[in-house]
Structure 1
Amino acid sequence: MDGGYRPPPAGSRRAGLWTSAPLATWARVLVVVAAAVVGTLDVADVLADGEGTLDAVVVVAVYLSLALVAYRVTLGAAAVMLVMLVSATTELWLPTGIIGLALSGVVVGKATPRFAAGYVTASLLWLVLVLLAHENSRAVAFVPVAVLVASVSVGAAYAALSQRSAAAADRISGFEEERARSLAEERDRIARELHDIVAHHVTMASMHADVVSMSEDAQQRDRSLRVIAESTRQALTELRWMLRVLQTPEELAGPGEKSLRLEATMAAVREHLHALGLRTEVDYDPAVLEGLPLELDVALGRILQEAATNVVKHADPREPVALRATREGGRLCLELRNAVGAVSDLPSSGLGLGNMSARAGEHGGTVTGSREGGTWVLRCVVPVA
């Protein structure tokens, strides 16, 4: 059999009285074949013994009802019980009853608890009718009682085993779903880290490479070359740090940690933007950034790097870029403002704002970007202790 009755999952339609778990294919075939073969033989014996057409009809009815169990246990069981009750006053009470009582185990194992309880109650009612209708039934009453007890016990044990197996299968499925979700989250995290590192530093290096190739100002070229060297060096440092964290996530501190801090990132961003000819006005109190957990500190630095990358691509170089950090009421606010200029021809992944929001969300914060007149304003707000 394919397993016992299982309650419907939460949120699904409630199981009805006639709901039942299906029989396995081989069990269906066995029930139908057995009902057909044994029923034919019994009908032939009844007719051969001259016991009458009514008895033959009862035999046919009970085996047809038994065959109906292959389609649905509850419908077949109800039909068998009806035949049992009808034949309780006839001489066929015992063979008919044995079939119906033996079926009670399948009912307990496959049907809902309500239906199973009703079927067992009807079986007991049938037994009472038989004892009242047939005086000689008391001498053999132990037979149907034993069949009923044995069948119900086997069915109850089967139902309990099926429920435990189903619960174990659900737990395994839950573990697999959790594992797949964890892997997907880890892939997203790695992709976000790589995007933030590559997008920022490579964009900076690319912009300054253009400056080196086109500028006739020796000092400007020297500044750009220094930024290119610093950007590539910092990219390597951050990649090594990321790989080390992936291998030993409990050891966040280590070589290169200071360069990942928000304060160091703010200084680097200011230098890089200045080297590109963008005036940057930085306004913050160093005390605002003190005591931040390393994970949050690095996350804010990543957000700032991504925001600075967008500034390089979209800011109007004639207007200053304003960077401000404030801390008030247990919340730290990082704000970057820039005038909107021409659209850059640098490639864009389109993941920037989404990555920033996801990164801030990991720490209970939010990132919003909006246009206020001709100024683009990016705000990152995160709770801090």
Structure 2
Amino acid sequence: MGTTSRFPSGRTAKLLFLTVIVGLVALDTTGGDFDLSRARAWFDLVLPWIPLFAVLIGPRVGAVTWFAMFAVIIALGADPLQVSGTALPTMLLLGLCAFVLVWRAAVILTAGVLVMFAIAVLVNPAKLGLAGVITFATFMVLAAAAGFGLSLLRSRLERSARRVAELRAQQARVRAEERTRLAYELHDIVANQVTLIAMQARRAEFADPEKTGQILENIGRAAGQTLQDLRSLVLLLKSETDEDDRPGTGSDDEALTRPERDPAIQGEAASPTGGLVQELHQVVDELEQAGFTVQVGLAGPVDDASAGLRQTLGRTLHELGTNVLKHGDPNGIVELRMAFTGDEVTLSASNQISAATPIFSSGTGLEAMRARCDVFGGHLATFAEGGRWTTSVSFPTARPLALTPSEGTS
């Protein structure tokens, strides 16, 4: 717990507190213990309550004022009526200060109050007996303990509120990450096939009649594959939701619900490099079906690629192919390269920039590639030169790579 230098609430609480104190003072006037026709009686009536009025400025100010008030009573001879008149105001003061101040300050204040009362007994031992000392000390300790107990309860409630706020913020972050992951998954699954469908539809407008049938067949195949992938994604998401409610489920369910089309998963089980090479040829086939002429380059020891790296490279290859389909000129040559050199692997795609109106692009593909580079320590570079657009992505192969949530599903 910390300390405060002001009254621990707002203006309404201050007015309510002030009203209560004034009411208690007014109640004392009806007790018949004071002859209000004399100025000294008014002094004796108001003096014990002055520290509580000072508390409105701050608990420390109230505590200091109490010691000054009680010193005046001792200096005047520690009259029993005056000492007993301080009992209720002192209990309220100790309870409030114990609630506001740290426990060490509350203990010191309570001990100081007991010491001051002991001094008053020494000053006037005849009229302030042992029973009065014990009663006074008991009520003061109980008041301080009540204030400190309320302070502990407040601290516990504040910690609980902070914990709830942290959990809500964590849940919001998890939901945001899940939405981002889902966006990447939908983009990876849909963007490539839908772009291929759009490019094939454009070709059908100008193709020879004998080629139209083949183009329509490619469109149908791409649409069917997209539908299959979307169904697989829905099954995967449903499976993950069920696993959250069913502890102890194994990874077999995930394997059954992953999209079957992803060669980077299917091929790698049988061959370390077959899946990645198959991904490369699949991208080449899609580009050639859209009318592009593709020059492929593959260099270096592909066997050195880990499973996590192959998964990332497969995703990146499809992103590069999709970008070419969207923005490339089919009359130009596409250069697609994958090179393993030392402790680094580089993927690059270079294409002639199309003068036609490009297919709508949200930039999610480049964003996803940048995200993978951030996770795996890679580097993304894009530039235009001589009417050609080049995208180059490099990843390190020396250190082990771990799949992220967005990379762990297809």
Q: TM-score, normalised by structure 1?
A: 0.80
Q: Which stretch shifts more, 141-150 or 60-69? A: 60-69
Cα distance in structure 1, aligned partners of 2:348 and 2:318: 13
1:100 is aligned to 90
* Aligned with residue 224 of structure 1, among 215, 228, 231: 215
1:211 is aligned to 203
Letter in structure 1 aligned against 2:204:
V
* Aligned with residue 259 of structure 1, among 244, 253, 262: 262
After superposition, the Cα gap between the structure-2 partners of 1:61 and 1:48, relative to the gap in structure 1 and judged at 3 Å, is closer
Measured after TM superposition, the shift of residue 154 of structure 1 is: 2.0
Unaligned runs of at least 5 residues, structure 1: 1-5, 8-14
CA contact (8 A) 2:350 2:390 kept: yes
After superposition, the Cα gap between the structure-2 partners of 1:56 and 1:50, relative to the gap in structure 1 and judged at 3 Å, is closer
Letter in structure 2 aligned against 1:83:
M
After superposition, the Cα gap between the structure-2 partners of 1:209 and 1:182, relative to the gap in structure 1 and judged at 3 Å, is same
CA contact (8 A) 2:194 2:223 kept: yes
* Aligned with residue 163 of structure 1, among 135, 155, 163: 155
Q: TM-score, normalised by structure 2?
A: 0.76
Cα distance in structure 2, aligned partners of 1:59 and 1:366: 80
1:18 is aligned to 5
* Residue 367 of structure 2 is aligned to residue 377 of structure 1: no
After superposition, the Cα gap between the structure-2 partners of 1:366 and 1:284, relative to the gap in structure 1 and judged at 3 Å, is same
Cα distance in structure 2, aligned partners of 1:314 and 1:293: 31
Q: How many residues in Structure 1 have an aligned counterpart in Structure 2? A: 368
* Residue 381 of structure 2 is aligned to residue 348 of structure 1: no
Unaligned runs of at least 5 residues, structure 2: 241-250, 265-275, 401-410
Measured after TM superposition, the shift of residue 60 of structure 1 is: 2.3
Q: After the TM superposition, which residues 282-321 of structure 1 pair with which residues of structure 2 at under 5 Å, given as runs?
A: 282-284=296-298, 288=302, 292-293=306-307, 297-321=310-334
Measured after TM superposition, the shift of residue 72 of structure 1 is: 4.9
Deviations 1:44-64 (CA, angstroms, capped at 9, x unpaired): 668843695245235324435
Letter in structure 1 aligned against 2:262:
S
Q: Which stretch shifts more, 35-44 or 46-55? A: 46-55
Measured after TM superposition, the shift of residue 237 of structure 1 is: 2.9
Measured after TM superposition, the shift of residue 191 of structure 1 is: 1.9
CA contact (8 A) 1:105 1:152 kept: yes
Q: Which stretch shifts more, 100-109 or 120-129? A: 120-129
* Aligned with residue 236 of structure 1, among 227, 235, 245: 227
Deviations 1:69-100 (CA, angstroms, capped at 9, x unpaired): 46754444444443233333342123214422
* Residue 293 of structure 2 is aligned to residue 279 of structure 1: yes
Cα distance in structure 1, aligned partners of 2:145 and 2:184: 58
Q: Which stretch shifts more, 27-36 or 205-214? A: 27-36
CA RMSD of aligned residues (A): 3.4
Letter in structure 1 aligned against 2:119:
L
* Residue 170 of structure 2 is aligned to residue 178 of structure 1: yes
